[in-house]
A and B are shown apart, each in its own frame.
Chain A
């Protein structure tokens, strides 16, 4: 797995999904928090996504479970993304929307969702790029709050490169200045 040591990928898989178990499973009741021995068929509760994947994908024996589509991948958000991707607040829906979407789609076949996500990502990308090049505008914070983690990383990368070009234009490279820590210290004393 390419992302094995990537802490963001690990965090993305830690989203809870609601699962319905289709058969009795002896010895797993503690997952639900109960003290009985066997997990009853038909019980529904949240488990982390990585656990659900292990249960479904295990090589030797698989457990019959239904993974319910999380709300943020549901029709309401999908329609909002289709209508105007730029206005959807993805942090509120799921902070790792696109990353989790990627791993989710690796397990669950949902062509419609992958289409919606790709289109939404592209549409929002343009907005992100515009913001990186326009510098610090007044409505930036409002817009930054709507970005998910992936987009935020992109925004940061874009900001850094345009800032370095700007610095180069201003000839401020190679000039010797006092470190920002020193300035702070001087102010304090």
Chain B
């Protein structure tokens, strides 16, 4: 498909943000809707003031912009929880600590639209930034262990995956291409037939030695002193060139 290049690599950050807006979040509504809310994705119970309701993030933000609700900060986004996660992130060198799949997007949307609902928003922002940097450097370590089969990264968020995806997938294919010569490699779907040369003598310095080779199915050696067939062929090619 003829997509622009920046769309070929997967999702764009804006698309990921859109996906994250479907996550449920707790709000305290300031309005009474009286009836249940029938949405395409399902029915939400009616919003009542002084009660907490779970609604999709997009609805929470929309209500927030109309000053019709307060958003409750998710448990993982409080300063205490983030401090704990950050400490865990820094002590454990290999594993990612647990964070929601959409944590970057949700945090960004909340910090952008519901600043007044977040106690100590600045501290939260700093902690999130530190956390992201710690995780990013861990993802970078992952390059080191990029092997031929797979790479394990638990608890990584969608935005983080999407950031390293173009780089990692391309690098992965290149590594696989670099090891075609391994015999019996199941991923090997190259056009060249190695068995054909299975018998040929290959000297250690990497030369293709055609000197004393016998072909696989017992044909004459490559370097027979007379080349009856090929001589005719080469002459005819040259002839056509001159014409």
Q: Tell me the A residues contacting B by CB distance below 8 Å.
A: 1-2, 22-28, 30, 56-57, 60-69, 73, 98, 101-102, 105-111, 113-114, 117-118, 121-122, 125-126, 129-130, 132-133, 150, 153-154, 157-158, 160-162, 164-165, 167-169, 171, 173-174
Contacts and interface: CB of A to CB of B under 8 A. Distances in A.
B178 A68 contact: no
B154 interface: no
A156 to B, nearest CB: 9
Contacts of B38: none
Point out which of B159, B191, B210 has the most chain A C-beta atoms below 10 A from its C-beta. Answer: B210
Contacts of A57: 192, 196
For the complex, would chain A's binding face be called helix, strand, loop or mixed by DSSP majority?
Answer: helix
Given A102-B180, A132-B167, A161-B167, A108 B208 contact: yes
Contact of B223 (A23, A113, A132, A174): A23
A165 B208 contact: no
Interface string B124-136: 0000000000001
A15 to B, nearest CB: 15
Nearest to A114: B181
A40 to B, nearest CB: 13
Nearest to B190: A106
A129 B180 contact: no
A133 B140 contact: yes
B66 interface: no
Given A65-B208, A109-B202, A165 B237 contact: no
Contacts of A28: 234, 238
B65 to A, nearest CB: 16
For the complex, would chain B's binding face be called helix, strand, loop or mixed by DSSP majority?
Answer: helix
Contacts of B171: 125, 154
A73 B205 CA distance: 10
A161 B208 contact: no
B13 A165 contact: yes
Nearest to A60: B229
A126 B140 contact: yes
Contacts of B179: 114, 118
B166 A117 contact: no
B177 interface: yes
Given A64-B222, A130-B140, A165-B159, A110 B206 contact: yes
Interface string B159-189: 1001111110011001101111110000001
B229 to A, nearest CB: 5
A23 B229 contact: no
A174 B18 CA distance: 13
A30 B241 CA distance: 11
A109 B140 contact: no
A94 B192 CA distance: 23
A150 to B, nearest CB: 6
Given A22-B210, A125-B143, 14 more contacts: A23-B227, A27-B231, A27-B238, A57-B196, A63-B222, A63-B230, A66-B208, A105-B181, A113-B206, A114-B180, A122-B144, A126-B140, A161-B166, A165-B163
20 contacts: A2-B189, A23-B224, A26-B231, A61-B230, A67-B207, A67-B208, A98-B178, A105-B181, A106-B181, A107-B208, A114-B178, A126-B143, A129-B143, A133-B136, A154-B171, A157-B166, A158-B164, A167-B13, A168-B13, A168-B14
A25 B178 contact: no
B36 interface: no
A154 to B, nearest CB: 5
Given A130-B140, A171-B112, A173-B13, A106 B180 contact: yes
Contact of A160 (B9, B227, B234, B235): B9
A157 B9 contact: yes
B210 A62 contact: yes
